[in-house]
Structures are given as structure tokens and as C-alpha cells.
Amino acid sequence: MEIVSFKSILPKYKAVFFDAFGVLKNYKGLIPGIEKTFAYLTENNIQYYIVTNDASRSPQQLAESYHKLGLNVITSDRIISSGMLAKEYLDLKVNSGIVAYLGTENSAHYIESSGLKTLPVSQIDDSNINEVNALVLLDDEGFNWFFDLNKTVNLIRKRTIPAIVANTDNTYPLTKHEVAIAIGGIATMIESIVGKSFIRFGKPDSQMFMFALEQVRFKEPIGKHEILMVGDTLHTDILGGNKFGLDTALVLTGNTRMDEAETKIKSTGIVPTHVCESVIID
């Protein structure tokens, strides 16, 4: 396994898609020096987008979270989130009634649209259960796990409705050695209990990359072979990028440590085009 510098592979590409967590930032904040990477991309006319499994906030709010950390180049139109896919699904496929959700009020606000009312699972009762036309799992916070997960199981048993999870990750890092259960992990439990499959939006699914590709092509007509997907996780970022036909770069600043990268690549059979220590350009 050869490790190359991120800068050395860039000349080949006209656009770069970045995963967020483990690539641009970690539990401590932004990866130090990240602003130079974006300056370099801008200088060299390379487009960039953030492609992230995150349904807890709107692209605007996600962008603001970068601004607060001092990275102003990440504007909301640069962000492709799995929440956007969930929102598109609801807009197209659910025309009326209530969308029950697990997550914070904030996460629900974003997916609301003209014909739809969102209601936390905790507020579903006999008086409104028959109006519930979809269930969406948005965030692991904002609800009581004991009461609301039990309620969710019974809701899906009673109503034949689509259940959507807008984040395919099982966990997210909290500190260097601790993780937290993500809403994707909770979804796995509910699915196995009720015996139904959720509709999952997020990497490695192609739809995420399609959204990003449309943005890129809106500006200039470039081919898939001119795009690089950068991520820290083999099963989401690299598998998804590979399958969509993009070149891929695995970075070692997040989920995959340097001492385990080669073993993981061999045992999974998921092979990135490049391996880089980080996306930092010195």
C-alpha cells in the first residue's frame, strides 16, 4: 500500500467530493490547516463539494457550522446531505397527512413542506395515527429512547407506511476513543424487530453522488473519471465512490487508522484508487 500526498494526485481531477467527518473535521473541530486545501482548489479551478450522511440539519445550518469554525468557503450550495434526499422523497412521494419523526425539532423543520405536517413520534396517539403517512428517522437526539423507540415499533406494525432513515451510519465518533450510536444504528434495530426494510438514503448509495454530479455538471461538462471522492470510511465513501465510477482517495484522519488500512482493504475487497495521510496541503 503506497501512501501519496493529497496534492500530488489533484492535477488529474476537475472536481473533488469530500466526506465531512474524519476528513475535514473531527471531534476536536476542523483538521488544522484545512483552509489551505480549499485555497489550493480554488486557485486551481477545481470544484469541490461536501457529500455527507447527515440529516440532523439543513444544508444552510451545516454550512453555518463551518463558518463558526472559521471556514467560510463552505457555502450551503456546496453541501450534499442525505437529508436532502429524504426531503426530495417526501416531496415526491408523500402528498398529505402527518410525517412522524425521531429526532430534534430542528431536524424536522427542514423536511417540512407545503402539504405535510411533521410530528414527533411521542405525539402520535389514537387520534392521529391514521393520518400518519410516513416515518422518518433523522437524529439520535431529541426524544426519549425508551418510550419513543417502543412507540415507533408499534407505529410501524400498525400502519403500512414507508419508513425512511436519512443516515446510514451506525455510529459517530464522540472523542478519540468513544463513539455514539447514530440514528442509522437505531434503524437497524427497529428493522430487525419489525421485519421490514427501511428506505435508506446516504453513502454508499448512488443517489448521493448523483445529486453532487448534477451540481458539478451545472457549472461545466466533466466526466466521472475527472472526479475524486475523498473519505475516511471504506464501506460508505470509498465503496460508494467506486461503484458510482469515481476515483477514490482514502484518508487516515478518521475511521481508518494507518496501522489497519491495508488489512481492512484486503479483508473487505474495497480498494481506493489512492491512500493519503490527510487532505492537508503543506
Applying CB under 8 A, the residues found at the interface with a copy of itself are: 88-89, 92-93, 144-146, 149-150, 153-154, 156-158, 160-163, 170-171, 177-181, 185-186, 188-189, 192-193, 195-197, 199, 205-207, 210, 224-225, 239, 242-246, 263, 265-271
Q: Copy the grid coordinates of residue 159.
A: 400502519
DSSP 52-79: E---SS-HHHHHHHHHHTT-TT--GGGE
How far are the Cα atoms of 11, 53, 75, 249 from residue 62, in angstroms, in the given order? 29, 12, 9, 23
Shortest distance, position 161 Cβ to a copy of itself, whole Å: 7
Nearer to a copy of itself, 59 or 202 (CB): 202
Residue number, 42 or 267, with CB nearest to a copy of itself: 267
Cβ neighbours for 52, distance < 8 A, ≥ 6 positions apart:
19, 20, 21, 62, 79, 80, 81, 82
- The least distance separating a copy of itself from the CB of residue 20, rounded to whole angstroms, comes to 21
For residues 227 and 219, is the Cβ–Cβ distance under 8 A? no
In the complex with a copy of itself, which residue's Cβ is closer, 30 or 129?
129
Q: Do 203 and 237 contact (CB within 8 A), yes or no?
A: yes
Question: At its nearest, how many Å lie between a copy of itself and the CB of residue 147?
Answer: 9
Cell 434503524 maps to which residue? Answer: 187
Q: Per DSSP, which regions of 83-170 are E strands?
A: 98-102, 117-120, 132-137, 163-165
43 vs 125 by CB, closer to a copy of itself:
125
Cell numbers 463552505 correspond to what residue? Answer: 74
Q: Which amino acid does the sequence have at 220?
A: E
Q: Which C-beta is closer to a copy of itself: that of 67 or that of 158?
A: 158
CA angle 26, 53, 51 (to 5 degrees): 85
CB of 63 to a copy of itself, least distance (A): 25
Of the two residues 42 and 154, which places its CB atom closer to a copy of itself in the complex?
A: 154
What is the closest distance, in whole angstroms, from the C-beta atom of residue 7 to a copy of itself in the complex?
A: 23
Contact 20, 52 (CB under 8 A): yes
CB of 275 to a copy of itself, least distance (A): 13
